[in-house]
Amino acid sequence: MPLLSKLFRGDTRLQACLQYDQSHVAPGSVGEFVSRIQTALMLLDELTIDAPEISAKRYGVSTARAVLSYKTARNIVNRSYQTKADNIVGKMTIASLDQEMLQRERATAIVVESIVCEIIRDPDPIV
């Protein structure tokens, strides 16, 4: 099953995360795929991630905290080996993020506001 949201689809790293346990995304990771996860967390739950981590596309302390918050709120727990949520994005988490982003994207519309400004021509021009 491919990732469906516009935010995630086509991202091979996140697609691997959805399919393979060993491809989970953990603290310390860096890259565009981390940036996409950060974007989803901020859009869906308005979670705060530190600006340096966003700029560096780095899965640092505040990103890990946001992931934990997201998973705890939805009780995303792999009960085969854990009793409470952790701060790692694995199969279940990326699937949940993707579904919620897809729903959000379907409920949104794009509008364009056009703003035109003009410097009025010189009323007393040099000739």
Partner 1 sequence: MATPWEDPIKNRGTLSVFAGASITGGAWATVFASAITEFNRLSKAGSFGVTLVTSSTPPDPQNSSGADVQFESGNGNVTFTSFGQKISVSINGKSTVGNTQQVKIVFGTTQKISKAFVVVPSTPQADSTPQRLVGPGVMLFIAVHELIHVAGLSNSDHNSDDLFAGFPQLRTGSKPADDTVEVNNQKRMPPLSLTDKTNKLIQANWS
Footprint of partner 1 (CB under 8 A): 6-7, 32, 38-39, 42-43, 46, 48-49, 51, 54-55, 104, 107-123, 125-127
DSSP state of 84: S
Of 26 and 105, which CB lies nearer to partner 1 in the complex structure? 105
| The length of the chain, given as a count of residues | 127
Nearest-approach distance from CB 58 to partner 1, in angstroms: 13
Cα 77 to Cα 91: distance, rounded to the nearest angstrom: 11
Nearest-approach distance from CB 77 to partner 1, in angstroms: 27
Of 49 and 86, which CB lies nearer to partner 1 in the complex structure? 49
Cα 43 to Cα 108: distance, rounded to the nearest angstrom: 12
Alpha helices in 30-90 (DSSP H): 32-45, 51-56, 61-74
Of 18 and 40, which CB lies nearer to partner 1 in the complex structure? 40
